[in-house]
Amino acid sequence: MQPFELSASEAARQIKSKDLSPVDLVQSLLDRIDSLEPALKAWVYLDREEVLTEARRKEQEVGSGTTVGPLHGVPIGLKDIYYTAGIPTTACSKLYADFVPEYDATTVSSLKRAGAIMLGKTVTTEFACMDPSPAINPWNPAHTPGGSSSGSAVAVASRMCPAGMGSQTVGSVLRPASYNGLVGFKPTFGRVSRYGVIPVSWTLDTMGWLVRTVEDAALLLQVMAGPDSADPVASRTEVPDYLKGLETPAAPRIGFLRRFFYEQADPETQKNVDQALRQLSQAGAQVEELPMPDSIDTAIADQLLIMSVEGAAFHQPMYEKRAQDYQPKLREMLGRGLAVDAATYSRAKERRLQFVTDMELLAEKADVLLTPSTPTAALADLSNTGNTMFQGPWTYCGLPAITLPSGLAQSGLPLGIQLAASPFDEARLLAAARWCEGVLDLHLAPPV
């Protein structure tokens, strides 16, 4: 196995045991980037010299016996909405073309404190919204890589980087993760600080990450979970040991959601889920079908309304001066959001509260809830970033969710299953996901 193929956790282990030099790891990834980036367009910013200097520093620290953090020497890509002190943060928008933050996002500080190397900034759709980005799906360039965390998805899938930070307001982490054959994870709303990340919608935005193993999803959560005095959304709920439960995971009780999810998936996705459920069940999981609450009926439209309003609330001053500089889908959304009256928005938020309660009660009925990750594999349509419908409800109700690869479609593009669990019960979700990952035992890599 070449260094660029290692997961974040495996790389960290080998660096700690001095079986791998951070410099060799970084060089291996930079070589990979040199070879693939011209075709895949995953990166916005990458300073090779600075990254190698940092890798040498990490190597010295290991050599000198300094205590090393859990991500020591592991390179990570950052969606270009994460503030990086002294480094441009453009949101891939003309409007932020010249923006250089003076401080790091809290998550970036946490990653650095854990020893991670910031490899570079990855492509995002403009302001993490719906206009397609330049990033190319490494499984097939004619198919969308998804969005909005498209650059992180492409970089991690093509082994240019073991882990990439993303963010999910509707379906922006788990969808591109699934489209690219990855593990994508978003914690409970409030579990991870959002301070220093350019917002879309303040009641929806959730930090998330794209990796290749459940262990990596847990490791990154361990490093970033916790309160933040700079972010009133960041919860003071205690942070458990997420990695411990992964060691000997038990077969979970799975609540399978047919309504809304499975029934709206295409036949090959349904077949893939049927097969996954059969495997999981044969391996010992208890699978029970659970009913989606009726409040799902208004949830999707309400979520889009709320996103448009809260996006408009942030962008209004810029939009009023430079509407023409926004890409068309985002411009349209902001115009729509600005036209909403407060009473309409308030009623949507009140309905949302009912949905959140309903989903929390539903999640209590099993260890994890299971759905297909997307209605179809990534489509051969570059005009949009794909259907967010299966991610939206989880972001809307704030429950933690993860996607795992579960096979390939006829088109050769990956399919995935999505698991969700009770709020702040990421430990249970990750342990169940680890168990499922072991049972499905897939090793997908794109043909690049």
Residue numbers of the site for a copy of itself (CB under 8 A)?
A: 202-203, 232-233, 309-310, 312-313, 316, 337-338, 340-347, 349-350, 353-354, 356-357
Query: Please, what is the minimum distance in Å from the beta carbon of residue 353 to a copy of itself?
Result: 5
**Cα dist. 373→34, 113, 272, 298, 360 in Å?**
31, 32, 11, 21, 19
Nearest approach, Cβ of residue 197 and a copy of itself (Å)? 15
Regarding beta strands 253-257 and 117-122, do their DSSP bridges make them parallel or antiparallel, or are they unpaired? unpaired
Q: 415 has which bridge partners?
A: 407
Angstrom distance (rounded) from CA 4 to CA 91: 27
Phi and psi at 286, nearest 5°, equal -90, 120
Tokens read off for 240 = 């458990």
CB of 95 to a copy of itself, least distance (A): 17
Structure tokens at 167: 């963010």
Cα–Cα distance, 415 to 263 (Å, whole number): 16
The least distance separating a copy of itself from the CB of residue 227, rounded to whole angstroms, comes to 10
Q: Measure the CA–CA gap between 276 and 263, rounded to whole angstroms.
A: 16
Closest CA to 137 of 120, 155, 162: 155
Phi first, then psi: give them for residue 252, nearest 5 degrees.
Answer: -85, 160
How far apart, in whole angstroms, are the C-alpha atoms of residue 220 and residue 224?
A: 6
Q: For the chain, how long is the longest CA-to-CA vector?
A: 62
Tell me the catalytic residues: 79, 148, 172
| Nearer to a copy of itself among residue 16 and residue 336 (C-beta) | 336
How far apart CA 193 and CA 170 sit, in angstroms, is 18
- In 3D space, the residue among 440, 383, 375, 369 whose CA is nearest the CA of residue 413 turns out to be 375
- Rounded to a whole number of angstroms, the minimum distance from the CB of residue 314 to a copy of itself is 9
Give every strand in the sheet of 414-420, ordered side by side. 43-45, 117-122, 75-79, 163-168, 206-211, 183-186, 401-408, 414-420, 368-372, 253-257, 286-290
